[in-house]
Amino acid sequence: MNKIKQHIYKAMLWLLPWMCAVPLASCSFDDDIDTGDDNAPAMLQLSITAREEGDLNTREGTEVGQNSEYMHNLLVLFIQGDKVVKKFLPDLSNDEAAKVGNLKTWTSESFTLTPGTYTVYAFANINSYFSTAWSSLTGLGIDESIESLGIDDIVLEGNPASKLDLLTYFIPMSAKEEVTVTRSTRNISIGLDRLVSKIRMSITGKPDTKVTALSFSGYADKIGLFSDKILDGEAYTTTKTINIPGDGTLKADGTGTTGTLVIPDFYVNSSPVGHPFTVKIKTVEATGIIHDATAVTQRNELPRNSIFPLTLQLNDYGLDLEAQCWVSPIGSLPVEVTVGFTQDTYEITVPEGCQFAFTVKGININGGNTSNITNLTGTWNMPDGVSGIAFDGETTGVTTVKGHVTASAGKTFDLSLLVTWKDNGATYNRTYTVKVLTDDITNFPFKSKTRTPEFGLDYLRHEMLNMFIK
């Protein structure tokens, strides 16, 4: 009898797992039964990602953002009709990446949402510093209407790009997407766009040239939260004064013939099409020559979340300056001396008491003539309080200036010449130095060929003076 019981117990133990499996399997199947209810809530997760930046020049792929170019704070609103049905305002204060603006992706916990179509608004790195509407957005509750906020028309005022320090204030980002949720939806992914554009600038030119001032201007002074917002009353006179790295010197490359200076990336407000940008630069060459140049970009748009690589080429523009001077001994006709200028800094020795005329003849580049030079003018200046030299007539916006020097040898006058011109649509302003020295008139030999019988004086011979860089 005991043996029979043992066999029964063994059989029961063998069947027990299979008996238990039946109700378990039944429960599992019940979960997957199609109820036919399309309005049953979907269980899903939300992912918010900061998109990578695109290069405006190459248009090939994207570039990974730099440190502090990602999320620092976040707000997400699910809107249906005009009411808030879901809101995310995560506390990121303890997230080490978010603290320094390096949170690339944020993922929510699982949540339910009724199937349907929603407008999703997502914002990062925006606070009351950028917009007074921010507190109204973060204060919205479930089932509250957004109609009075005019969320699509919110504008960040006051040149928001200028407020970025990537320490406390990070790059504002936004997104607006229509999403459709079904029972099978498990994930919603939203990409944020930065509301600014990054300028990546470098400068090439003569080695050892020093950049002393640099600016980028002409972009919008405000930004709409979304790219389809047409701005009203915006100005395009905003200027970014750029911090010049190191001592601003263009370092020579391996050949020693070209110098380069790389400017750290900087941000400007995104700007709509139709507004080109202006770059101004001031440099000092190793010879002491000061150059001021202004150029306008062909690009007339800066989309949000873009990178604009921009190279400034400092062309070697030389000045073609003609100098003429006359001496007029008593009883003699004026005798002309003509010299030609071929370099940026010029020194000329003239007879004491002479009259002169300086004419801006043209501009050449790298030793050759330029055919596209237009609107060429010059403005002459001399130091205050200088005596012994004077200009006769107009000195501003002219190509020829006339004057005279004192009848005293051994004088030196440093004249400043600002030359302005256009080349292929770009405007250039460069300052040249003309050093004028006076010498004893007797050091300029007379030519004994023709005498003037009435006065018994010789004409001075026509003389060519050798010029040299100071």
CB 459 within 8 A of CB 335: yes
Element (H, E) at 110: none
Residue pLDDT, tens place only, 343-362: 445 677 777 888 888 888 88
Instruction: Supply 269's token pair.
Output: 């407000």
Nearest to 290 by CA among 419, 204, 398: 419
In the chain, what are the domains? 42-194 (2.60.40.2580), 197-313 (2.60.40), 317-460 (2.60.40)
Which residue in the block uniquely carries the two structure tokens 């699910």?
78
CB 296 within 8 A of CB 239: no
Nearest to 325 by CA among 297, 355, 298: 355
What was the pLDDT predicted at 458?
Answer: 32
Element (H, E) at 238: strand 238-241
Contacts of 262 (CB under 8 A, 6+ apart): 201, 202, 203, 245
**Alpha carbons 278 and 15: distance in angstroms, whole number:** 86
129: Cα separation from own chain's centroid: 23
Query: Does the pLDDT value for residue 459 go beyond 80?
Result: no
- Read off the pLDDT of each residue in 405-416 and give the average, rounded to a whole number: 88
Residue pLDDT, tens place only, 239-296: 999 999 999 999 998 888 889 999 999 999 999 989 899 999 999 887 777 777 788 8
Nearest to 288 by CA among 194, 181, 210, 174: 210
- Read off the pLDDT of each residue in 13-39 and give the average, rounded to a whole number: 44
List 356's β-bridge partners, or say none: 325, 403
Residue 25: pLDDT band (50, 70, 90) is very low
The DSSP-derived string for 83-105 is: EEEEEE----TT-HHHHTT-B-E
Element (H, E) at 360: strand 355-365
Give the percent of the chain with pLDDT over 70: 78
